[in-house]
Amino acid sequence: MMARTSEPLDPKRPSSRKQRGATTILDVARRAGVSPMTVSRVVNGEKNVRPATRAAVLAAVKALNYSPNPAARSLAGAEAARIGLIYSNPSASYLSEFLVGALDEASRTSVQIMLEKCEATSAGERGAVRKLVASGAAGVILPPPLCESHDVLDELRISGLPTVAVATGRFGKGASCVRINDYAASREMTNYLFTLGHRRIGFIKGHPNQTASIEREKGFTSAFADAGFKLDPAMMVQGYFSYRSGLDAAETLLTLKQVPTAIFASNDDMAAAAVSVAHRKGLDVPGDLSVVGFDDTSIATNIWPELTTIRQPITAMAEVALDLVVQAIRNHKRSGGEAKSVDHLVTYSLIKRGSVASPKGAPKPAAE
């Protein structure tokens, strides 16, 4: 082989890379006559720095108009800020709004979101969590219905990742959550139907193992109890949040000897199914039957008549959730200790649309 000088040029010449004009921590350090480390300490508000030194550094910072490079900072280990988002049911409208919120907040706080879809099996759910952990997630947010999954929550607890569940009723369990007050919303809807004169109201329950279902049912029954109206047990039928289950439930309700004047479904899909069944039976909505839903998903406005329903501010909830995880991650890192989970309630709203009217032959609704 011939002579080779694999000497990497003159090591003194630092002029290899491009020059970005930004002032660095090194510039500040030189000007203040200290080491970069000390500057870092001052900038980050750590304590063990003599006031005089601190002042000198601060002066230099100001003079040079220095501001730390966030990329370098996060690279150096300050905060990783990659958070995972697991979803299972591509429940279209919900997921979309949720993503919009999460993304928006993510770009604002410059955290990276990692999406992970998972099958609704135990193995699938646990696998998704592990995959996220392996990818370096520092926290996780869970939209429904995963936020109710034992497998997911359990696996997350094992991994010790800060977790925020959205729209679950189940609070505690080591995860924070962001939700509306399903119970109160359901009561309010029921009372609204009361004020219109409805007394025979059919209720289609949600999936029995989701907490929100239970809350919504409780709100409904307690409204009856508090108003002193009698609630016929035959008016409560089981549903599972799917359109299909809504068809069956509505069929049951509308073939009773004494049919209801209104149907309150635990979500919009089932409410839409109820409208469809009513139409097939020749009933006018809302003339012969009022129908209300819950969630204000897109189907609520994609059918006719449009559904009166409860709106959850999904986008805002996702933003809050993301915010909470980021905070949790920060605490987790500094203190290392157990993060205490929080329960964040956001406000819902009752959206009045065309699927509701006073029952036929009823007295004019009482003024509110």
Partner DNA sequence: CCACTTACGGGTAACGCTATCAATGTGCCG
Partner DNA sequence: CGGCACATTGATAGCGTTACCCGTAAGTGG
Interaction of residue 363 with DNA, rule CB under 7 A = no
DSSP designation for 302: S
Nearer to DNA, 4 or 340 (CB): 4
**Is residue 312 a contact partner of residue 180, using CB atoms and an 8 Å limit?**
yes
**Angle at CA of residue 255, ends 183 and 203, nearest 5°:** 0
Provide the 3-class DSSP secondary structure of residue 121: coil
Interaction of residue 90 with a second copy, rule CB under 8 A = yes
The listed partner (DNA, a second copy, none) that binds 128, CB under 5 to 8 Å by sort, is none
Interaction of residue 16 with DNA, rule CB under 7 A = yes
Using CA of residue 157, residue 163, residue 167, residue 173, what is the dihedral sign?
A: positive
Determine which helix (DSSP H) or strand (DSSP E) holds 115, and give its type and residue range.
Answer: strand 112-117
Give the count of beta carbons closer than 10 Å to the beta carbon of residue 114: 15
Interaction of residue 38 with DNA, rule CB under 7 A = yes
Nearer to a second copy, 104 or 154 (CB): 104
Answer for which of 30, 64, 69, 276 binds DNA (CB under 7 A) is 69
Interaction of residue 104 with a second copy, rule CB under 8 A = yes
Interaction of residue 40 with DNA, rule CB under 7 A = yes
The listed partner (a second copy, DNA, none) that binds 276, CB under 5 to 8 Å by sort, is a second copy
Find the shortest distance in angstroms from Cβ 8 to DNA.
Answer: 4
Compute the distance between CA of residue 287 and CA of residue 304 in angstroms, rounded to an integer. 13
Nearest to 284 by CA among 227, 186, 354: 354
Interaction of residue 332 with DNA, rule CB under 7 A = no
Answer for which of 55, 59, 115, 123 binds a second copy (CB under 8 A) is 115
Interaction of residue 4 with DNA, rule CB under 7 A = yes
Interaction of residue 304 with a second copy, rule CB under 8 A = yes
Nearer to a second copy, 49 or 80 (CB): 80
Interaction of residue 107 with a second copy, rule CB under 8 A = yes
Compute the distance between CA of residue 19 and CA of residue 28 in angstroms, rounded to an integer. 17
Interaction of residue 335 with a second copy, rule CB under 8 A = no
Provide the 3-class DSSP secondary structure of residue 71: helix
